[in-house]
Amino acid sequence: MNKRKMQKIHAKSRFFERHDILLTKDLHKELINNIQNGKAKFVKKQSNRVTLWDIDFTDKLIRVVYDKHRKLIITTLPVQEEVV
């Protein structure tokens, strides 16, 4: 299994585990579009490839980790976790 597929599986399981949200293919695309179209709030750059974003989703703020090379959300962070 390639890295892209593994990242999608990881993101799907973390969304459900941490937010009780089923990350469907359509929802994943919608969240990525929010990042790419400036509807999400940039939080910080982790590396040349990975950035953190806050996205409003059904009256809930969700922090996601985005891989700009693969154009994928690779995980979501727990609500209480503060990122420095």
Domain annotation covers residue 20: yes
Position of tokens 């922090």? 63
pLDDT tens track for 11-35: 999 999 999 999 999 999 999 999 9
pLDDT tens track for 33-70: 999 999 999 999 999 999 999 999 888 899 999 999 99
| Statement: the pTM of the whole predicted model exceeds 0.85 | yes
What is the C-alpha separation between 72 and 84, in angstroms, rounded? 22
Domain annotation covers residue 32: yes
Domain annotation covers residue 84: no
DSSP secondary structure code for residue 79 in this structure = T
Domain annotation covers residue 17: yes
Domain annotation covers residue 31: yes
What is the C-alpha separation between 19 and 79, in angstroms, rounded? 8
Domain annotation covers residue 18: yes
Q: Which domain holds residue 23?
A: 3-76
Q: How many domains does the chain have?
A: 1
